[in-house]
Structure 1
Amino acid sequence: MSNFSAKIIVDAKEKTLAIFDSINTDNDFYPENPTKTNISFDKKITISVESDHMPHLRANLNSTLRLIQASYDSIESVKI
Protein backbone atom coordinates (compact mmCIF):
# COMPACT_ATOMS: atom_id res chain seq x y z
CA MET A 1 0.00 0.00 0.00
CA SER A 2 1.20 3.50 -0.84
CA ASN A 3 1.92 6.12 1.78
CA PHE A 4 0.11 8.95 -0.02
CA SER A 5 -3.08 9.05 -2.08
CA ALA A 6 -5.47 11.54 -3.61
CA LYS A 7 -8.82 11.31 -5.37
CA ILE A 8 -10.23 14.03 -7.59
CA ILE A 9 -13.65 14.11 -9.25
CA VAL A 10 -14.21 16.38 -12.23
CA ASP A 11 -17.60 17.33 -13.67
CA ALA A 12 -17.40 19.58 -16.72
CA LYS A 13 -20.99 18.92 -17.82
CA GLU A 14 -21.18 18.19 -21.57
CA LYS A 15 -17.39 18.53 -21.96
CA THR A 16 -16.53 15.79 -19.45
CA LEU A 17 -16.25 12.87 -21.90
CA ALA A 18 -14.06 14.86 -24.32
CA ILE A 19 -11.76 15.87 -21.46
CA PHE A 20 -11.61 12.27 -20.22
CA ASP A 21 -10.62 11.03 -23.70
CA SER A 22 -7.88 13.65 -23.83
CA ILE A 23 -6.28 13.00 -20.43
CA ASN A 24 -6.76 9.23 -20.42
CA THR A 25 -4.78 8.93 -23.66
CA ASP A 26 -1.84 10.62 -21.95
CA ASN A 27 -2.08 8.22 -19.02
CA ASP A 28 -2.23 5.16 -21.33
CA PHE A 29 1.00 6.18 -23.07
CA TYR A 30 3.02 6.69 -19.88
CA PRO A 31 3.29 3.23 -18.31
CA GLU A 32 6.52 4.09 -16.47
CA ASN A 33 4.68 6.68 -14.37
CA PRO A 34 6.22 6.60 -10.85
CA THR A 35 2.73 6.90 -9.34
CA LYS A 36 -0.17 4.49 -9.53
CA THR A 37 -2.74 6.49 -11.45
CA ASN A 38 -6.25 5.39 -12.36
CA ILE A 39 -8.55 7.56 -14.46
CA SER A 40 -12.13 6.43 -14.94
CA PHE A 41 -15.33 7.86 -16.41
CA ASP A 42 -18.90 7.41 -15.20
CA LYS A 43 -20.67 10.68 -16.02
CA LYS A 44 -17.78 12.33 -14.12
CA ILE A 45 -14.03 11.85 -14.29
CA THR A 46 -12.51 10.18 -11.26
CA ILE A 47 -8.75 10.40 -10.85
CA SER A 48 -7.10 8.30 -8.15
CA VAL A 49 -3.37 8.66 -7.52
CA GLU A 50 -1.17 6.71 -5.12
CA SER A 51 2.54 7.06 -4.48
CA ASP A 52 5.20 6.25 -1.94
CA HIS A 53 6.66 9.74 -2.40
CA MET A 54 4.78 13.00 -1.88
CA PRO A 55 6.69 14.94 -4.61
CA HIS A 56 5.69 12.31 -7.20
CA LEU A 57 2.06 12.51 -6.11
CA ARG A 58 2.09 16.31 -6.24
CA ALA A 59 3.76 16.40 -9.66
CA ASN A 60 1.29 13.90 -11.09
CA LEU A 61 -1.70 15.83 -9.74
CA ASN A 62 -0.35 19.14 -11.04
CA SER A 63 0.23 17.68 -14.50
CA THR A 64 -3.17 16.02 -14.63
CA LEU A 65 -5.01 19.14 -13.47
CA ARG A 66 -3.15 21.26 -16.03
CA LEU A 67 -4.11 18.79 -18.76
CA ILE A 68 -7.75 19.01 -17.67
CA GLN A 69 -7.63 22.80 -17.73
CA ALA A 70 -5.92 22.85 -21.15
CA SER A 71 -8.51 20.43 -22.56
CA TYR A 72 -11.38 22.48 -21.16
CA ASP A 73 -9.90 25.74 -22.47
CA SER A 74 -9.33 24.22 -25.93
CA ILE A 75 -12.93 23.07 -26.14
CA GLU A 76 -14.15 26.48 -25.01
CA SER A 77 -11.95 28.30 -27.56
CA VAL A 78 -13.68 26.63 -30.52
CA LYS A 79 -17.18 27.08 -29.15
CA ILE A 80 -19.57 28.26 -31.86
Structure 2
Amino acid sequence: MTLSFSAKIQFSSDKENSSIYQSINTDNEFYPENPTKTKISLDKEIIIELESHHLPHLRANLNSTLRLLQASYDTINSVKV
Protein backbone atom coordinates (compact mmCIF):
# COMPACT_ATOMS: atom_id res chain seq x y z
CA MET A 1 0.00 0.00 0.00
CA THR A 2 1.29 3.45 -0.94
CA LEU A 3 0.25 6.43 1.13
CA SER A 4 -0.54 9.72 -0.51
CA PHE A 5 -0.27 13.03 1.31
CA SER A 6 -1.99 16.22 0.22
CA ALA A 7 -2.51 19.85 1.19
CA LYS A 8 -4.78 22.58 -0.10
CA ILE A 9 -4.17 26.31 0.31
CA GLN A 10 -6.78 28.94 -0.42
CA PHE A 11 -5.66 32.55 -0.62
CA SER A 12 -7.50 35.71 -1.50
CA SER A 13 -6.45 39.32 -1.66
CA ASP A 14 -8.52 42.22 -2.94
CA LYS A 15 -6.74 43.30 -6.10
CA GLU A 16 -3.49 41.33 -6.10
CA ASN A 17 -4.86 37.84 -6.85
CA SER A 18 -4.01 37.87 -10.55
CA SER A 19 -0.46 39.19 -10.09
CA ILE A 20 0.29 36.79 -7.25
CA TYR A 21 -1.16 33.88 -9.24
CA GLN A 22 1.04 34.70 -12.24
CA SER A 23 4.10 34.91 -10.03
CA ILE A 24 3.68 31.59 -8.24
CA ASN A 25 2.28 29.72 -11.25
CA THR A 26 5.28 30.71 -13.40
CA ASP A 27 7.58 29.11 -10.83
CA ASN A 28 5.44 25.97 -10.89
CA GLU A 29 5.37 25.71 -14.71
CA PHE A 30 9.16 25.86 -15.02
CA TYR A 31 9.78 22.99 -12.60
CA PRO A 32 8.31 19.94 -14.40
CA GLU A 33 10.54 17.50 -12.52
CA ASN A 34 8.94 18.53 -9.21
CA PRO A 35 8.40 15.34 -7.16
CA THR A 36 5.25 16.91 -5.69
CA LYS A 37 2.20 17.23 -7.92
CA THR A 38 1.25 20.89 -7.68
CA LYS A 39 -1.88 22.43 -9.20
CA ILE A 40 -2.45 26.18 -8.97
CA SER A 41 -5.71 27.76 -10.11
CA LEU A 42 -7.34 31.17 -9.96
CA ASP A 43 -11.02 31.95 -9.78
CA LYS A 44 -12.18 34.34 -7.08
CA GLU A 45 -9.24 33.16 -5.00
CA ILE A 46 -5.95 31.38 -5.55
CA ILE A 47 -6.16 27.66 -4.86
CA ILE A 48 -2.98 25.62 -4.52
CA GLU A 49 -3.29 21.84 -4.30
CA LEU A 50 -0.27 19.70 -3.50
CA GLU A 51 0.04 15.93 -3.53
CA SER A 52 2.97 13.60 -2.94
CA HIS A 53 3.76 10.05 -1.90
CA HIS A 54 6.58 11.37 0.30
CA LEU A 55 5.76 13.60 3.24
CA PRO A 56 9.15 15.41 3.25
CA HIS A 57 8.64 16.37 -0.43
CA LEU A 58 5.16 17.69 0.34
CA ARG A 59 6.42 19.67 3.33
CA ALA A 60 9.30 21.19 1.38
CA ASN A 61 7.08 22.18 -1.55
CA LEU A 62 4.43 23.55 0.80
CA ASN A 63 7.01 25.70 2.60
CA SER A 64 8.45 26.99 -0.68
CA THR A 65 5.03 27.78 -2.09
CA LEU A 66 3.92 29.62 1.05
CA ARG A 67 7.13 31.66 1.11
CA LEU A 68 6.74 32.56 -2.56
CA LEU A 69 3.11 33.52 -1.95
CA GLN A 70 4.14 35.75 0.96
CA ALA A 71 7.05 37.29 -0.97
CA SER A 72 4.80 38.06 -3.95
CA TYR A 73 2.15 39.64 -1.74
CA ASP A 74 4.71 41.69 0.23
CA THR A 75 6.49 42.89 -2.92
CA ILE A 76 3.29 44.03 -4.60
CA ASN A 77 2.19 45.88 -1.48
CA SER A 78 5.57 47.52 -0.90
CA VAL A 79 5.45 49.35 -4.25
CA LYS A 80 1.88 50.62 -4.06
CA VAL A 81 1.57 54.32 -4.60
TM-score tier by shorter-chain length is over 0.9
Structure 1: which 5+ residue stretches go unaligned? none
SS of structure 1 residue aligned to 2:21 = helix
Q: Distance in 2 between matches of 1:54 and 1:64?
A: 15
Please tell me the root mean square deviation across aligned C-alpha atoms, in Å: 1.2
Q: Using structure 2 for the length normalisation, give the TM-score.
A: 0.94
Structure 2: which 5+ residue stretches go unaligned? none
Partner of 1:18: 19
Shift of 1:3: 1.2
SS of structure 2 residue aligned to 1:14 = coil
Q: Using structure 1 for the length normalisation, give the TM-score.
A: 0.95
Q: Distance in 2 between matches of 1:74 and 1:43?
A: 21
Q: Distance in 2 between matches of 1:46 and 1:11?
A: 9
Shift of 1:2: 5.5
Q: How many residues align?
A: 80
- Identity between Structure 1 and Structure 2 (%): 65
Give the residue type in structure 2 aligned to 1:17: S
